[in-house]
């Protein structure tokens, strides 16, 4: 057989790669040879990678259509983004090269597919529009409590396949990523009749506590949890103001959520043996980024939606008729609620091993390292 020069060059490249990767392996060989931890993802549209594609109903937020995914290699997947989302970039950071594990509802038709996926890379249960409270956008998403039930069903199938000992071991070194609360706060702020804020935070935290405790009971140990970002500065909130200013009230609700969540997690860690967590502060990251967007991160527009129409790109439905900005990597917001893949990448970077002020008490990288120890 005659090898063409392309084949030879490819082979040389292969040899070079081998040499480099052996060097990279070097001292850390043992750690590198350990496969990346599976990741199980819960929450809302910031993390959803397509579960909502499988929900029916006229009001289900579904984005498996152009121009969502315009920068995603291939096709619109159901990510609320122009490309990858925060779950994808965090997955890549922990070593899952393809990004987020797949949506549960895309594999749920096959028990063996559920098992093989859950045992190797994990699973995503996140659903656009979902809240911590079942009542938030009820009927049009998978609420957090039901996401936990789906995880329970997944775990039962894993146990049936490989036994509970192996599943407990696997889960104890896996990562649970959760991002929820934004839709609950938004529903609370949008309500015509303001209900009692203290009671609202009370039920929010008791429901969140129940969900996290259930996951712990089912074997999860390592929790990477994001707070709610500057909700009052989303284009959809700014456009409510004649001058396009951020809503101080909505930002206050998000700030208060952070305080409540921080003490909830500290309480859980004190009560549940082996419970580890990292609380990521997307609120603080956004405050810092918006203070000087260009210097900190190269964003030239942190107020308006890239994709949309009307004032701040936030008034029109996102359709094939809507305009799309050309410089998507310089926009913070993709549509009137969701961030661009560039902003998602910045978040993952900050939460994984960025400045200490963006994670409490440890960062995601330390969380993963503790699971491997
Ligand atoms: C959530 O909180 C409400 C009000 O406190 C409660 O009635 C409901 O049972 C809770 N749901 C879950 C799943 O814990
Ligand atoms: C998981 O599902 C089983 C079987 O339906 C049920 O008995 C158990 O209470 C569930 N566990 C949690 C933590 O939800
Ligand atoms: C797109 O524009 C066309 C022509 O102006 C209009 O007829 C159609 O309703 C628009 N479609 C959407 C989804 O806005």
Determine the Cα–Cα distance for residues 234 and 238; give it in Å rounded to an integer: 6
What's the alpha-carbon Rg for the chain, to the nearest Å?
21
| 319 in contact with ligand 3, CB cutoff 6 A | yes
Q: Cα separation of 11 and 66, whole Å?
A: 39
Per-residue pLDDT in tens (0 to 9) along the chain, 373 residues: 343 434 333 333 333 333 444 444 444 554 556 889 999 999 999 999 999 999 999 999 999 999 999 999 888 999 999 999 999 999 999 999 999 999 999 999 999 999 999 999 999 999 999 999 999 999 999 999 999 999 999 999 999 999 999 999 999 999 999 999 999 999 999 997 878 999 999 999 999 999 999 999 999 999 999 999 999 999 999 999 999 999 999 999 999 999 999 999 999 999 999 999 999 999 999 999 999 888 878 999 999 999 999 999 999 888 898 999 999 999 999 999 999 999 999 999 999 999 999 999 999 999 999 887 6
331 catalytic? Reply is no
Distance 133 CA to ligand 1 centre (A): 7
Among this protein's residues, is 241 annotated catalytic? no
Atom of ligand 1 nearest to the CA of 133: 1
Q: Which ligand is nearest to the CA of 317?
A: 3
Separation of alpha carbons 203 and 201, rounded Å: 6
pLDDT for residue 27: 44
Atom number in ligand 1 closest to CA 203 = 5
Length of the chain: 373
Domains of the chain plus CATH, in order, are: 36-56+67-372 (3.40.50.1110)
- Dist CA 139 CA 130 (whole Å): 10
pTM above 0.75, yes or no: yes
Q: What is the pLDDT, as a whole number, of residue 33?
A: 65
* Whether residue 45 lies in the annotated active site: yes
Residues with CB under 6 A from ligand 1: 145, 203, 206-207, 210
Distance 318 CA to ligand 3 centre (A): 11
The one catalytic residue in 56, 322, 338, 353 is: 338
**CA terminus-to-terminus distance, the chain:** 49
H runs (alpha helix) in 67-194: 86-93, 104-107, 111-120, 144-162, 164-172, 182-190
d(CA 180, CA 130): 8
Atom of ligand 2 nearest to the CA of 152: 1
Beta bridge partners of 279: 225, 360
Question: Which H/E stretch holds residue 274?
Answer: none
Q: Which ligand 2 atom sits nearest the alpha carbon of residue 155?
A: 1
Instruction: Give one word for 122, left, alpha or beta, with left for phi > 0 and alpha for psi -120 to 50.
Output: left
Q: Determine which helix (DSSP H) or strand (DSSP E) holds 131, and give its type and residue range.
A: none
206, 212, 260: residue to mutate for ligand 1 pocket, most atoms within 8 A of CB: 206
Instruction: Report pLDDT for 213.
Output: 98
Helix axes 197-217, 182-190, angle to 10 degrees: 160
């Amino acid at each position: 057989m005659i090898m063409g020069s392309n084949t030879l060059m490819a082979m040389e490249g292969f040899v070079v790669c081998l040499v480099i990767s052996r060097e990279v392996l070097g001292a850390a060989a043992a750690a590198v040879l350990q496969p990346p931890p599976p990741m199980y993802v819960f929450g809302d549209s910031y993390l959803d990678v397509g579960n909502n594609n499988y929900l029916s109903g006229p009001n289900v937020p579904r984005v498996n259509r152009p121009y969502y995914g315009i920068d995603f290699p291939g096709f619109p997947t159901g990510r609320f983004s122009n490309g990858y989302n925060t779950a994808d970039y965090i997955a890549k950071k922990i070593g899952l090269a393809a990004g987020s594990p797949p949506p549960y509802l895309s594999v749920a038709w096959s028990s063996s597919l559920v098992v093989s996926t859950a045992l190797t890379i994990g699973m995503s249960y996140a659903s656009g529009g979902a809240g911590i409270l079942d009542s938030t956008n009820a009927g049009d998403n998978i609420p957090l409590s039901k996401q936990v039930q789906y995880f329970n069903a997944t775990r039962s199938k894993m146990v049936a396949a490989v036994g509970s000992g192996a599943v407990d071991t696997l889960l104890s070194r896996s990562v649970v990523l959760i991002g929820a609360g934004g839709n609950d706060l938004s529903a609370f702020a949008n309500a015509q009749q303001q209900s009692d804020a203290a009671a609202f935070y009370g039920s929010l935290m008791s429901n969140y506590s129940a969900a996290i405790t259930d996951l712990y009971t089912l074997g999860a140990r390592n929790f990477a949890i994001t707070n709610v970002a500057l909700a009052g500065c989303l284009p959809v909130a700014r456009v409510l103001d004649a001058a396009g200013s951020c809503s101080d009230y909505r930002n206050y609700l998000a700030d208060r959520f952070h305080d409540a969540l921080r003490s909830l997690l500290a309480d859980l860690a004190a009560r549940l043996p082996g419970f580890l967590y990292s609380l990521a502060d997307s609120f603080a990251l956004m405050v810092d980024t918006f203070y000087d967007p260009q210097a900190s991160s190269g964003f030239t527009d942190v107020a308006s939606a890239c994709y949309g129409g009307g004032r701040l790109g936030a008034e029109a439905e996102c359709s094939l008729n809507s305009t799309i900005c050309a410089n998507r990597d310089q926009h913070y917001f993709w549509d009137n609620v969701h961030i661009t893949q560039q902003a998602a990448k910045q978040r993952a970077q900050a939460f994984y091993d960025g400045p200490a002020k963006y994670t409490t008490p440890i960062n995601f990288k330390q969380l993963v390292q503790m699971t491997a120890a």
